[in-house]
């Protein structure tokens, strides 16, 4: 089964329809680092990362990885070895901090955009994560917590996401 994101505010999976939000500048076929756009395409889902100090491990068939204080996602276009990868935070490497004060990363699933054959500057850290108010994202897909938890029960590691 495939998750479908359409019209910038609807996530569909099987018979389930959820309201969602996407990048502040919409959806694009030509993603660039920092453009605040969500990339068009068909992608695999990766592991579920979660804040085990705030939330319980959810019911899901995805591999679950607790988020710790030193975890980040490299968005540094000057670091070709770590770009668009999970990293241990270092001061000299630009990154998206996963252990945040707000709750949007209490649950997150990276999508496989620009992951296997990474192209520096093509965009990084594209996640499905939480939203409180459907505020537009930096390029990710945001869902309310209850909807995210329902989706986690339905999907597995073979599930794909199609952004149109």
User: Going from the N-terminus, what domains does the chain have, and what CATH number goes with each?
Assistant: 2-163 (2.40.440.10)
Q: Quick one: average pLDDT of 62-90?
A: 96
Cα gap 121→128, rounded to integer Å: 20
Is the model's pLDDT at 90 over the cut of 90?
no
pLDDT given for residue 26 in this prediction: 96
Q: What is the pLDDT of residues 105-149, one digit of tens each?
A: 999 999 999 999 999 999 999 999 999 999 999 999 999 999 999
pLDDT given for residue 51 in this prediction: 98
Is the model's pLDDT at 7 over the cut of 90?
no
Measured CA angle at 27 (ends 88, 146), to 5 deg: 65
pLDDT given for residue 91 in this prediction: 85
Q: What is the pLDDT of residues 19-74, one digit of tens each?
A: 999 999 999 999 999 999 999 999 999 999 999 999 999 999 999 999 999 999 99
Give this prediction's pTM: 0.96
pLDDT given for residue 81 in this prediction: 94
Is the model's pLDDT at 80 over the cut of 90?
yes
- For residue 46, which phi and psi values (nearest 5 degrees)? -105, -155
The CA-based dihedral angle spanning residues 160, 1, 135, 132, taken in that order and rounded to the nearest 10 degrees? -110
Cα gap 75→85, rounded to integer Å: 8
């Amino acid at each position: 089964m495939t998750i479908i994101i359409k019209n910038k505010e609807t996530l569909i999976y099987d018979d389930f329809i959820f309201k969602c939000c996407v990048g502040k500048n919409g959806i694009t076929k030509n993603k660039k680092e920092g453009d605040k756009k969500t990339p068009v395409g068909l992608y695999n889902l990766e592991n579920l990362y979660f804040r085990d100090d705030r939330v319980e491990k959810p019911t899901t068939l995805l591999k679950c990885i607790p988020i710790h204080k030193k975890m980040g996602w490299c968005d540094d276009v000057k670091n070709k070895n770590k770009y668009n990868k999970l990293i241990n935070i270092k001061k000299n490497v630009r990154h998206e901090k996963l252990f945040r004060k707000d709750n949007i990363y209490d649950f997150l699933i990276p999508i496989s955009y620009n992951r296997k054959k990474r192209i520096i500057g093509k965009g990084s850290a594209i996640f499905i994560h939480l939203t409180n108010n459907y505020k537009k994202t930096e390029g990710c897909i945001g869902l309310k917590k209850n909807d995210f938890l329902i989706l986690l029960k339905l999907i597995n590691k073979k599930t794909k996401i199609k952004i149109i």
